[in-house]
Amino acid sequence: MFNRVGLAVVVVMLMVVIIIAGVVSAQIAVKQNQIAIYPMNGVITHVSKAHNEITIKDSTGNVWVWGESEGWTVGNKVIMTMHNNNTSGITDDIILKVRYEIEAR
């Protein structure tokens, strides 16, 4: 069926295909990680000291809950650092950090 040279050629071709597939997979992973973290503006709409959480309405109308109520008041403008959970939808994104929005004067 295959002589030694033919078999060697097939093996080399398979190795090249595997290497190319690995490079493409790595490039896709890098591209996904580049967009994984993003900022989102919002306003605090509710503070629950009893549950130690705040409710934030973002600039697109989505509502988020963050588990630290100390020092926050309703109406505070915030910037959330978000992680997209490596998905295209926003509803499963995760808040990593919340900080006060500092407005330019």
Q: How far apart are CA 101 and CA 39, in angstroms?
A: 11
Query: The tokens of 27 are what?
Result: 């490039």
Q: How far apart are CA 63 and CA 53, in angstroms?
A: 13
What are the residue boundaries of the structural domains of the chain, listed by start? Answer: 1-34, 37-100
Tens of pLDDT, residue by residue over 9-26, are: 766 676 655 666 554 554
The answer to whether the predicted template modeling score (pTM) of the entire model surpasses 0.85 is no
Which ranges constitute the DSSP H helices of 1-105? 4-34
Element (H, E) at 65: strand 63-66
Structure confidence at residue 57 (pLDDT): 97
Q: How far apart are CA 26 and CA 20, in angstroms?
A: 10
The more confident residue out of 10 and 67 is 67
Q: Which amino acid is at 1?
A: M
User: Rounded mean pLDDT of 72-78?
Assistant: 96
SS3 61: coil
> Which of 1-5, 48-52, 80-84 is least confident?
1-5
Q: Name the CATH code of domain 37-100 (choices 1.10.10, 2.40.50, 3.10.450, 1.10.287).
A: 2.40.50
User: Rounded mean pLDDT of 68-91?
Assistant: 92
